Amino acid sequence: MRSTLKISVTALFASLAIASSILRLEFPFPVLPWLKFDLAEIPAMLACMMCGLSYGLLAETIHFLGLVARGSHALNAFMKFSAVAPMMLGYAFFTKTLLKAASGIALRVAVTTAMNYLYFYVLYPSFLEYALKLAGTVELLFGYTAMFNIIHGIFTIGVSLLIVREVEKRIKMPAK
């Protein structure tokens, strides 16, 4: 695929991610309702799968900037970025689909766990009290958050793979 086409596809997917966020195509994780399953991750992951890692990261960076530009709190937008970007990085490590997915999800969980530690213990310790009322214990809080990220990673990668495979059936895609 030529670089101009990759840039165009990346811009399209970044725009779709921003539009999905504006339309709030999301639903809360029942256990911890501040965590949202967000469909905006799918277009960025599609850019990664169809155009390559750097283009996927570019799409997610544009999505992050779009969130901040529309008025989202920069830290919350960065927390989202810090879930999606590691998932893409981990996905790029291997050639076998199952290893790619497992690596992406594992890296997502590791980075979001570290980010949540910073969020709860350094930046917003008062929010930790509220979170513990819902989760019960710190271990459960981090366990539920990890479970959310595993489910979200499976969903995002799975749906993205299905879309890529359907596109490849219908359109002769040039090599990355």
User: How wide is the angle at C-alpha 101 spanned by C-alphas 24 and 90, nearest 5°?
Assistant: 90
pLDDT at position 68 is 95
How far apart, in whole angstroms, are the C-alpha atoms of residue 60 and residue 80? 9
How far apart, in whole angstroms, are the C-alpha atoms of residue 36 and residue 1? 34
How far apart, in whole angstroms, are the C-alpha atoms of residue 60 and residue 52? 13
- Report the share of the chain in percent with pLDDT over 70: 98
Give the tens place of pLDDT for each residue, 98-129.
999 999 999 999 999 999 999 999 998 888 88
> Residue 176 above 80 pLDDT?
no
| Residue 140, burial from CB neighbour count under 10 angstroms (0-12, 13-18, 19+) | middle
Q: Of 153, 172, 168, nearest to 45 (Cα)?
A: 153
Give the tens place of pLDDT for each residue, 67-86.
999 989 999 999 999 999 99
pLDDT at position 174 is 60
Q: Which domains does the chain have, with CATH numbers?
A: 3-26+35-170 (1.10.1760.20)
Mean pLDDT along residues 58-75: 94
